Amino acid sequence: MCGMSHATLSTSAELFSPSGRTDPHPLYERMRASEPVCRIQLPDGRRFWLVTRYEDVAAALVDVRLSKDARNQSPDGHFAYLLGDGGAFGRHMLTVDPPDHTRLRALVRKAFSPRLVERLRPRIQHIANDLLDAVVDRGGMDLIADYAFPLPIIVITELLGVPPADRDRFRAWSNVMFTNDFTGSREAGRRAREEFAAYLHALCELKRAQPGNDLVSGLVQAEESGDVLDEPELLAMIFLLLIAGHETTTNLIGNGMLALLQHPDQLALLRENPAMIGTAVEELLRYDSPVETSTWRFALEDLELGGQPIAKGDAVLVAISSANRDETSFTGADQLDITRGDTKHLAFGRGIHFCVGAPLARIEGQIAIATLLRRLPRLRLAVGVEDLAWRASLLLRGLQALPAEFS
């Protein structure tokens, strides 16, 4: 059993170190080989099981014995904060099990169907062009701040009916809540959640008074119907859609472009064959996944996972980034190959919690990357890879900035 041995504490320290956040893949490779289900200790002393092999991750994602509801954690209270600070965003689709999960997901599933999302393609293309028009004469840009962040935040706020002037506030709140999700100030995160909750409450009041043809108005009307959505669920749902609706796609575009710029043969191949953008995006999702780990799961009973005994109430995280680089599931797992054409990656999860926004993220990623390659043929990194800073998060895998030039 992988307990709190010196080797395990060393693994924990490496996982949260600057090098571990910059490139976790060498560590994950060692973990898959020697301790694929390992007890990890957070910097604040909390402990959880980290699952790293593809087979085990895929199994854990659909295991009904692993609950997303933090009320099923062990009584030590180490993860009590997940129940929410005063109810702020405590219960949404990623923190509940059926039947609540089924009910909540049904409220938004149709809005993110492939058929309806496909209708957004012209608008997404227009946004991508506008963002590049604003920087094309500069000769350089920050691919995150100028493009990868604003594109999905514009799309999701328009879909939800959020005023354009408020978009940047979401980035600030999101950074506080998720950039230091394991190592940062919990008090700062609490304040950010409270501010965000107050904003969303006011937004819902506005939509009650002045409903529009948008998703927030639709959710407010569902809440008013009585037994479908209560106020805390309403706020949590909008919070989740706003955060998940831009964070993951921002990281997909940023991580994907960095991977292509680091692999000029693959970049050239995609430029020469733009029709390959669909399979290319799937490979980019696998190669450097925008979500590094799942959100928390808690064992409903004593069970075994990957040969390790997991006690009832124990916290479990699955490392999606590690599973997607598992050499037993992907030939040449550490190689970027946009012709790979296999879609068994776990970047969007699996099972009932499979990302409801996956169709939208795929289209945004395809349009954003294809438009960059078409309009900026001289695009290249403006700094060395060693100078890039990654966000200090174990949940999200993304760059703080990606300076590029194209003159």
Dump pLDDT digits (tens) for 136-159: 999 999 999 999 999 999 999 999
Residues 237-258: what's their mean pLDDT? 91
Q: Say what percent of the chain tops pLDDT 90.
A: 65
Question: So what's the pLDDT on residue 11?
Answer: 85
Question: So what's the pLDDT on residue 245?
Answer: 82
For residue 238, give the nearest of 207, 204, 213, 211 by alpha carbon. Answer: 204
Domain 6-405 belongs to what architecture? Orthogonal Bundle (1.10)
Computed over every residue of the chain, the mean pLDDT equals: 89
Q: How confident is the model at residue 179 (pLDDT cuts 50, 70, 90)?
A: low
83-117 pLDDT, tens digit per residue, is 654 455 667 888 899 999 998 898 888 888 888 89
Question: So what's the pLDDT on residue 86?
Answer: 44
Does the structure show a pLDDT above 90 at 343? Answer: no
Kindly report which listed range (182-186, 248-252, 265-269, 366-370) carries the lowest average pLDDT score: 182-186
Under 8 Å between Cβ of 290 and 258: no
Question: So what's the pLDDT on residue 1?
Answer: 42
Question: So what's the pLDDT on residue 55?
Answer: 97
216-225 pLDDT, tens digit per residue, is 998 888 776 6
Q: Which residues contact 4 (CB under 8 A, 6 or more apart)?
A: 39, 41, 47
For residue 338, give the nearest of 290, 279, 286 by alpha carbon. Answer: 279
For residues 88 and 80, which has the higher predicted lDDT (pLDDT)? 80
Full-model pTM: 0.91
